[in-house]
Amino acid sequence: MLVYVWNGTADETLSHPFDPFPCGTAEQPFVIAQLGQSLDGRIATPTGDSKYINGGAALDHLHAIRARVDAVLVGIGTVVADDPLLTVRRVPGRSPARVILDPSGRLPCDARVLADDGVPRIVITRPGAPVAQGADCIAIEADGGVIPPRAILRALGACGFRRILVEGGARTISAFMDAGLVDRLHVLVAPLILGSGRNGLDLAPIGPLSQALRPRARAHLLADGNVLFDCDLSAGRLPSEPLSALAPWEA
Ligand SMILES: NC(=O)c1ccc[n+]([C@@H]2O[C@H](COP(=O)([O-])OP(=O)(O)OC[C@H]3O[C@@H](n4cnc5c(N)ncnc54)[C@H](OP(=O)(O)O)[C@@H]3O)[C@@H](O)[C@H]2O)c1
């Protein structure tokens, strides 16, 4: 069971983390990102081990987020490192569609995200890249090696997904945050120190501290001693571009 304790120091106007997430639109789905990290901001050791940084209540919380979205998206680095299921198992609820960002066709055909359990599986890749059997494919042209997150969201919105969880890893979440496309960020901090390893975020460098993101936030102490920082990034969320502003392959 999740226990939330209002710490009384943050913004009281922020909705509770378990209020229903707002429903986005086809052009602009609602996007929540999550990071499960150590006290020193790491989401994995240098060898890529991340199971499990967080305690049981934090993992319950992650599953509860999955149960409240239409699709969960991860980068291929996470699939290769963790071979996750991305299902809802720890709390009641239905599993969301699974979306894997795999621009070079690295997804193993026996990856557990491809399990045929009645949930849609979608691979977002570049035109011409090989795609493992067992998933639908959306091919989007990359720009300088990066598939634009805005085009990814538009494609997922066209599939009918209105609430999307960007679950990891660092490169994937960072690309969405740098693009200004995350509405809400849940950072689950566990009381351990790795001292080395993968940083949770790797955003475009800033200069003065005044350029730092300072989202409205609430902290919640969970029953396992982990702390949830529920951050509202909607003030920096960039509006959808009109169709006319999109490249031909995005329209
Ligand atoms: N603690 C947590 O909350 C948590 C959650 C998830 C993952 N993790 C950990 O994070 C690590 C993986 O993170 P990561 O940053 O290395 O990998 P990642 O974000 O899972 O995947 C990165 C890869 O996905 C592709 N990709 C992502 N965004 C792209 C874009 N916009 N355009 C084109 N390709 C894109 C690229 O594939 P190519 O390399 O093929 O170009 C990229 O190298 C693992 O160790 C995992 O255990 C931790």
| 210: in domain | no
User: Which residue's CA lies nearest to atom 10 of ligand 1?
Assistant: 169
Pocket of ligand 1 (CB under 6 A): 35-36, 43-44, 48, 50, 53, 74-78, 81-82, 101, 103-104, 106, 142, 146-147, 149, 167-172, 175, 198
Task: Return the ligand 1 atom nearest residue 53 CA.
Answer: 1
Please give the distance, rounded to the nearest whole angstrom, from the Cα atom of residue 246 to the centre of ligand 1: 25
Each residue's pLDDT tens digit, 61-76: 999 999 999 999 999 9
Residue 11 binned pLDDT confidence (cut-offs 50, 70, 90): low
Each residue's pLDDT tens digit, 198-224: 999 999 999 999 999 999 999 999 999
Q: Write down the pLDDT at residue 73.
A: 98
SS3 assignment for the chain: CCCCCECCCCCCCCCCCCCCCCCCCCCCCEEEEEEEECCCCEEECCCCCCCCCCCHHHHHHHHHHHCCCCEEEEEHHHHHHHCCCCCCCCCCCCCCEEEEECCCCCCCCCCHHHCCCCCCEEEEECCCCCCCCCCEEEECCCECCECCHHHHHHHHHHCCCCEEEEEECHHHHHHHHHCCCCCEEEEEECCCCCCCCEECCCCCCCCCHHHCCCCEEEEEECCCCCEEEEEECHHHCCCCCCHHHCCCCCC
| 17: in domain | no
Q: Write down the pLDDT at residue 97.
A: 98
Q: Write down the pLDDT at residue 33.
A: 98
State the CATH number of the domain containing residue 91: 3.40.430.10
| 25: in domain | no
User: Which residue's CA lies nearest to atom 41 of ligand 1?
Assistant: 103
Candidate from 51, 107, 150, 171 with most ligand 1 atoms within 8 A of CB, to mutate: 171
What is the C-alpha separation between 118 and 88, in angstroms, rounded? 13
| 113: in domain | yes
| 243: in domain | no
Lowest mean pLDDT, pick from 28-37, 144-153, 187-196, 241-250: 241-250
Query: To the nearest whole number, what is the mean pLDDT of the chain?
Result: 90
Task: Report whether pLDDT(128) > 60.
Answer: yes
Residue 8 binned pLDDT confidence (cut-offs 50, 70, 90): very low
| 13: in domain | no
Task: Return the ligand 1 atom nearest residue 45 CA.
Answer: 45
| 79: in domain | yes
Each residue's pLDDT tens digit, 178-192: 999 999 999 999 999
Q: Write down the pLDDT at residue 20.
A: 75
Each residue's pLDDT tens digit, 80-92: 999 999 999 999 9
Q: Write down the pLDDT at residue 236.
A: 85
Each residue's pLDDT tens digit, 134-156: 999 999 999 998 999 999 999 99
Domain count across the chain: 1
Please give the distance, rounded to the nearest whole angstrom, from the Cα atom of residue 101 to the centre of ligand 1: 8
Please give the distance, rounded to the nearest whole angstrom, from the Cα atom of residue 244 to the centre of ligand 1: 31
| 206: in domain | no
Q: Write down the pLDDT at residue 222.
A: 95
User: Which residue's CA lies nearest to atom 13 of ligand 1?
Assistant: 169
Q: Which domain holds residue 65?
A: 30-195+215-235
Task: Return the ligand 1 atom nearest residue 152 CA.
Answer: 31
